[in-house]
Chains A and B, each alone.
Chain A
């Protein structure tokens, strides 16, 4: 019964989403303010319906209702309850419902604040988000209904994919979707600006916190995904350049460009057309990611059940949404989007350079991801593009990005002088080069050059960040008062840039310094890795809730002292008869001790991999600092006063 209620609520939500699109459109065409107003209540009711539908699906999972085909395929009565929860979004149907629900949630949040916008802009924003919602609800209802009953219903379910039975995976997809879907807000704003024919600085100030929030979620989501791959896949890698990873990374890069470009539009009134294009681009790439993951056009380690009908559907959504908005951009852009001047040497230039570099990076990743498809479509055969391409191209693009980032941090708006920049930059550049040299001398091995170059760039970012802070404090009488007076957004910027530098350091050092050894080991054996000795002490069998596990106990010794104890496991998930590796990891800032069990060999012996993952935590710590920077910037007073800015725009528009 509850499942049917869920289906009904989903259909009702579709009807409400249609209201949310049609009424404001009619209102806009016939210039009737009353009709514009219907968008808000419709959006709020739509969210209530979808939340209800989503909870109905959660209920079906928690109560083990295996008469639903989707529940039967992705859950099992022995599955612990928290994984039954996360199984809701463990496969296509449920995750697309989550997508739609989160979209409705964002729409709801926008609808609560939309009265601060000019009536027509607000109505168009809600109508655009409603249109996206209509498309996705049609998609769910016609191709991917999670509430479909399966006949005959099985007595127990086929279990959730063991790879997904992990705490990190409970929150990874919702975080990622919050980010993906959140980019629909700046997208709707961009379309609204084009439709209404005006783009004021107030518009940018309004769009900024939404974009920043979405970007922060996406940052956390991607970091979680990478962390999960590291410990759960048992291969110790943290990024594979897999098509699905790329699908999340591309909107992130575009979103990064967008938050920077928006800040320029907000503060200086320039870059309007670029900002609008990036806003369209970030959401387009989110949609493209959805398409790539769910259509089955590319083979990936993240195999969603694929179906050509779904691919056609998502491609149509993509075509209409992106094609439509880009046509609008081509048509209205030249009239709406102009204004602002700046000189060649100025902070604007460096920010523009970085926006371009981020866009080019996105394009190269898109090319690498789609190249196999392109070659296939042209009938030239089938190929795959691997990490060497991505590492090289992406790495090369990061160098100028880091340089421009540093220069942007302490250059002035509108106009600056090269001699002044040079005076400011020379100490940072010198110090960064020394750091790089030292690393180049200390680090040995094939990655020496990469590590030295990476650390030079990271040092440059850190030193120029410090210079930027110094610049703001120079000549102030009281240091503490001056520090307190700096806007939170500035602190957010410094924190995020520090995080970026740390991530670069982490990536370079873990690549250059990690060590690894494979060995055949039985209880009692020991293997040494650098200064550490790993001893295989005992092996136990035990029964988990829905798996059988072999757990090894390893002790780690350093200079004759026991420093750690690790418990790697090999699990066999009984329902699917699928083996899984749970690595034994002891985290540390300067490196993780990592043991994973391979396969059982003869007797009690196992193939074992022991590794030292140098500085790998910095990669995720960097990402978390970037997200923290986002949160800090969101708390800036600027956005609290956004009300007045938007209100003055509104007065301007109506007056």
Chain B
């Protein structure tokens, strides 16, 4: 009997892998696409006395990038965000997710800050409303605050070039409300 144990374990493993193969880790069927982004009031990472609300993000398309200092994939994404902010002048709003103020600020200080503003969400409240599964994730909001796109996992240079950049160009071309 004990000689059958390995094959039994392996069969379970293969089933999981086969099911996993059908799922794209970067694709999360977000019910929020083309829905209004949730409203929020959050402190900024830099200053506990400054708060931002959804109203502050309206009027132009913005990216909301969910990140944390403890997330290794975010570190890979970081230079891409910096390049987007510097070279393409994209407005990226950071959502510092389940992190501490010290660790988050320190990281931005050390490695550069691609964000126009950073929302501080230590309990992951806004993250929950946005349906964040893991970090990093990025949402594209249009001028009316409607979620138009969601990237799960790091933004690769390809994802930026092929998907997000064209979308932003399209959103910028349509008249603001």
A interface residues, Cβ below 8 angstroms from B: 233, 235, 240, 242, 273, 277, 280-281, 284, 291, 295-301, 303, 308, 311-312, 315, 318-319, 322-323, 326-327, 329-330, 333-334, 370, 372-374, 376-377, 381-384, 386-387, 518, 520, 576-580, 598-599, 607-609
Known: A373-B17, A377-B20. A578 touches B25 (CB 8 A): no
Chain A hits for B24, CB < 8 A: 296
Chain A hits for B25, CB < 8 A: 296-299, 372-373, 376, 382
> From B70, which residue of chain A is reached at the shortest CB distance?
A386
CA distance A326 to B91 in the complex (A): 54
Known: A277-B6, A312-B21, A607-B110. A301 touches B87 (CB 8 A): no
B109 to A518, Cβ gap below 8 A?
yes
B109 to A318, Cβ gap below 8 A?
no
Contact pattern, B 2-35, Cβ under 8 Å of A = 1, otherwise 0: 0110110011011011111101111010000000
Known: A295-B21, A299-B73, A299-B153. 4 other contacts (CB 8 A): A301-B75, A333-B3, A578-B83, A608-B110
> From A162, which residue of chain B is reached at the shortest CB distance?
B79
Contact of B10 among A235, A300, A312, A322 (CB under 8 A): A322
Chain A hits for B23, CB < 8 A: 297, 373, 376-377
A326 to B7, Cβ gap below 8 A?
yes
CA distance A119 to B110 in the complex (A): 63
Closest beta carbon of chain A to B86's beta carbon, Å: 9
CA distance A383 to B28 in the complex (A): 12
B135 to A329, Cβ gap below 8 A?
no
Q: Does residue B116 face the partner (Cβ distance < 8 Å to A)? A: no
Chain A hits for B111, CB < 8 A: 598-599, 607, 609
Closest beta carbon of chain B to A497's beta carbon, Å: 29
Chain B hits for A277, CB < 8 A: 6
Pull 5 A–B residue pairs with CB atoms less than 8 Å apart, ordered by A: A296-B25, A300-B73, A387-B70, A598-B112, A607-B109
Interface residues of B in 82-100 (CB under 8 A from A): 82-83, 87
B interface residues, Cβ below 8 angstroms from A: 3-4, 6-7, 10-11, 13-14, 16-21, 23-26, 28, 70-73, 75-76, 79, 82-83, 87, 106, 109-113, 133-135, 152-154, 156-157
A311 to B75, Cβ gap below 8 A?
no
A329 to B19, Cβ gap below 8 A?
no
Closest beta carbon of chain A to B13's beta carbon, Å: 8
Contact of B3 among A300, A334, A386, A599 (CB under 8 A): A334
A311 to B21, Cβ gap below 8 A?
yes
> From B87, which residue of chain A is reached at the shortest CB distance?
A577
A240 to B7, Cβ gap below 8 A?
no
Known: A299-B25, A381-B133. A323 touches B154 (CB 8 A): no
Closest beta carbon of chain A to B53's beta carbon, Å: 28
> From B12, which residue of chain A is reached at the shortest CB distance?
A374
Closest beta carbon of chain A to B102's beta carbon, Å: 11
B7 to A323, Cβ gap below 8 A?
yes
In order of increasing CB-CB distance, the 8 nearest A-B pairs are A599-B112, A382-B133, A326-B7, A377-B19, A518-B110, A299-B153, A373-B20, A384-B134
A301 to B72, Cβ gap below 8 A?
yes
B133 to A299, Cβ gap below 8 A?
no
Chain A hits for B75, CB < 8 A: 233, 235, 301
Chain B hits for A609, CB < 8 A: 110-111
B28 to A382, Cβ gap below 8 A?
yes
CA distance A281 to B6 in the complex (A): 9
B133 to A383, Cβ gap below 8 A?
yes
Contact of B135 among A333, A384, A580 (CB under 8 A): A384
Chain B hits for A233, CB < 8 A: 75
CA distance A414 to B156 in the complex (A): 57
A315 to B17, Cβ gap below 8 A?
yes
> From A335, which residue of chain B is reached at the shortest CB distance?
B3
B21 to A297, Cβ gap below 8 A?
yes
CA distance A199 to B114 in the complex (A): 62
Chain B hits for A308, CB < 8 A: 21
CA distance A333 to B4 in the complex (A): 10
**Looking at B10, B17, B109, which has the most chain A CB atoms within 10 Å of its CB?**
B17
Known: A299-B26, A577-B87, A599-B112. A383 touches B134 (CB 8 A): yes
Chain B hits for A240, CB < 8 A: 72
Closest beta carbon of chain B to A432's beta carbon, Å: 33
Known: A301-B76, A376-B20. A330 touches B7 (CB 8 A): yes
Closest beta carbon of chain A to B164's beta carbon, Å: 16
Chain A hits for B3, CB < 8 A: 273, 329-330, 333-334
A315 to B79, Cβ gap below 8 A?
no
B16 to A373, Cβ gap below 8 A?
yes
A577 to B83, Cβ gap below 8 A?
yes
B10 to A326, Cβ gap below 8 A?
yes
CA distance A159 to B18 in the complex (A): 34
> From A376, which residue of chain B is reached at the shortest CB distance?
B23
CA distance A381 to B18 in the complex (A): 17
Chain B hits for A374, CB < 8 A: 16, 20
Chain B hits for A608, CB < 8 A: 110
Contact of A576 among B13, B19, B112, B157 (CB under 8 A): B157
Chain B hits for A298, CB < 8 A: 25
Chain A hits for B112, CB < 8 A: 598-599, 607
